[in-house]
Copies of this chain bind each other. A is one copy, B any other.
Amino acid sequence: MSEFKIGPLNHVGVAVPSIEEAANTYRELYGAIDITEPGEMEAQGVRFCFVNLPNSQIELIEPFGENSPIVNFLKKNPKGGQHHVCFEVDDIHEAKKVMEERGATVLNEPRIGAHGTLIIFVHPKNSNGVLIELMEAPKH
């Protein structure tokens, strides 16, 4: 039996029409002072930035490019909404193997995510309707 387990809650992904407008909400309404500059991930079809909190992050994502996977999400939720939850794992290849051994559907081969480490996504049907991202923890 594998002793695989998830680690910290790295971030909550929130899909929005505009990450600049959403960042303003966190800054002006909630007083968040540490928000990263926007970045782009062409392969994943998103522009993103992070609202840094003392223990975790909100990842704001908006569609980027023509085949962005979050376009449909925003059609259903025009103002935006919670899109995924990301947990850290020690080893993404072990995580993928364990998820599949336990019957879950992994949506992609491990690829580099917004933190520069390998990530996979697990289908929402396997986790009570929640899209789960697993992310290899950055090595310090």
Contact = CB atoms under 8 A, between A and B. Distances in A.
Interface string A45-77: 000000001111110100000000000000001
Interface stretch (A23-31, A35-43, A112-120): A23-31
Contacts of A78: 129
A28 B130 CA distance: 16
The complex is assembled from copies of this chain, and their number is: 2
Contact of A30 (B3, B58, B82, B87): B87
B87 A53 contact: yes
Interface of A: 2-9, 12, 14, 16, 21-22, 25, 28-33, 53-58, 60, 77-83, 85, 87, 99, 102, 104, 124-130, 132
